[in-house]
Amino acid sequence: MHKLNWDDLRFVLAVADTGSVNAAAKVLGVNHATVLRRIASFEEVCGGPVFERDRSGYRLRPDRAPVIEAARLAAQHVNSAEALMHGSGSMSGTSLRLTSTDTFCQTVLAWIYPALSRRIQPDRLTYLSSNAHLDMARLRADIALRPAPSLPDDLTGKRVGDMRFAVYGRADSRDATNWLGLTGPLERSKPAQWMAREIDPSLIAASADSFCLLTEMVSRGNAQAFLPCILGDAAPGLVRLTRATPDFTVPVWVACHRDLAGSERLQRLMDALEKLLQPHSAALAGDLKLS
């Protein structure tokens, strides 16, 4: 029986992170054949395939998420051991990757990060700000904090609050008729879907794929836009405008891949996020400023 070559973990994780043998080879500085050989070696020793191969690349098999989680932990401990041998670093703690939107990253996550870091010690956090949903099936992130009507089937988690949207404009531009539109990943949001049905495209002066950017644009122009209340209420000079629009409120979730639900380190991070977000629930729900 063959024994596991720990160095094969680097190749497995590179393919899991990039979704491609060619991309993994580039990251690792080796050729395509070397990556294939190392993946095959790992799969032979571990008793079965780790990835599904199709035209779009290499996708983690649904039942292999715990394998990659264990491999990532093992690789981090190997790196810690190497650092200790060279007289630096510490063996305690691992790195956890938290993905969220730029709205959350520039508000509540920035506010709570010192307390969050203390609560998960000795683990460390890497924040991944992206309005596009990362492919959790490829474990490109460990935990997601996101607004969504519901969680996809491959994720499991808990509803930790609600995010409300309202129409905002400058206080001196209450009669503005032009709009700022939502594009890119924001096109899936409820406000964007309403605008697609109700707003004449000729009234949309510009569009953006970031609510943080839209907040700055509204502050500097004679236009109105849907914004998360946590951004609009805090922006100097902006006010909520009285418009005949629905009340857009979206659940906020803390979630991980469903096959990793038993991970103690991930559950500890999810529990800490839930607790630290509670004091900011009113700001997220738009209940602090109702004028």
DSSP state of 134: P
Question: Which CATH number fits the domain that encloses residue 61?
Answer: 1.10.10.10
Kindly list the distances between the CA atom of residue 81 and the CA atoms of 28, 69, 78, 125, 250, in Å, as whole numbers in the listed order. Answer: 20, 19, 5, 20, 44
User: Would you put residue 19 in left (φ > 0), alpha (ψ -120 to 50) or beta?
Assistant: left
- Whether 13 and 140 map to the same domain: the answer is no
One-letter amino acid at 279 equals P
Locate tokens 């990835």: which residue?
Answer: 51
- Here the tokens at position 259 are 């096959």
Spatial distance between the Cα atoms of 32 and 25, rounded to a whole number of angstroms: 6
**E strands, the chain, where?**
51-54, 57-60, 95-100, 124-129, 143-147, 155-170, 179-182, 204-208, 225-228, 238-240, 248-257
> What pLDDT, on the 0 to 100 scale, is given for residue 290?
40
> What pLDDT, on the 0 to 100 scale, is given for residue 170?
93
Kindly list the distances between the CA atom of residue 183 and the CA atoms of 149, 186, 204, 284, in Å, as whole numbers in the listed order. Answer: 19, 5, 12, 22
- Domain of 74? 8-85
Q: In 103-122, which positions are buried (b, 16+ CB within 10 angstroms) versus exposed (e)?
A: bbbbbbbeebeeebeebbee
Q: Which residues contact 246 (CB under 8 A, 6 or more apart)?
A: 190, 194
In a domain, 289, yes or no: no
In a domain, 287, yes or no: no
- Whether 112 and 58 map to the same domain: the answer is no
In a domain, 290, yes or no: no
- For 117-171, how does the pLDDT look when each residue is reduced to its tens digit (9 = 90+)? 999 988 889 999 988 876 655 557 789 999 999 998 888 999 999 999 999 999 8
> What pLDDT, on the 0 to 100 scale, is given for residue 23?
86
In a domain, 90, yes or no: no
- Whether 171 and 242 map to the same domain: the answer is yes
For residue 70, what pLDDT band results from cuts at 50, 70 and 90? Answer: confident
In a domain, 49, yes or no: yes
- Whether 167 and 59 map to the same domain: the answer is no
Neighbours of 200 (CB within 10 A): 9
Query: How many separate domains does the chain show?
Result: 3
Is residue 87 scored above 60 in pLDDT?
no
For residue 91, what pLDDT band results from cuts at 50, 70 and 90? Answer: very low
- Whether 110 and 133 map to the same domain: the answer is yes
DSSP 74-128: HHHHHHHHHHHHTT-S-SS--EEEEEE-HHHHTTHHHHHHHHHHHHTTTSEEEEE
Question: Which CATH number fits the domain that encloses residue 144?
Answer: 3.40.190.10
Is residue 35 scored above 70 in pLDDT?
yes
- Whether 202 and 63 map to the same domain: the answer is no
- Whether 245 and 170 map to the same domain: the answer is yes
- Whether 270 and 194 map to the same domain: the answer is no
The number of helices, as runs of H, and strands, as runs of E, in the chain is: 11, 11
Mean pLDDT of all residues in 192-209: 95
Among 72-76, 98-102, 108-112, 137-141, the minimum mean pLDDT is found in 137-141
- Whether 45 and 16 map to the same domain: the answer is yes
- Whether 171 and 244 map to the same domain: the answer is yes
For residue 95, what pLDDT band results from cuts at 50, 70 and 90? Answer: confident
- Whether 131 and 175 map to the same domain: the answer is no
- For 175-196, how does the pLDDT look when each residue is reduced to its tens digit (9 = 90+)? 778 999 999 999 999 999 999 9
- For 253-284, how does the pLDDT look when each residue is reduced to its tens digit (9 = 90+)? 999 888 778 788 889 999 999 999 999 999 99
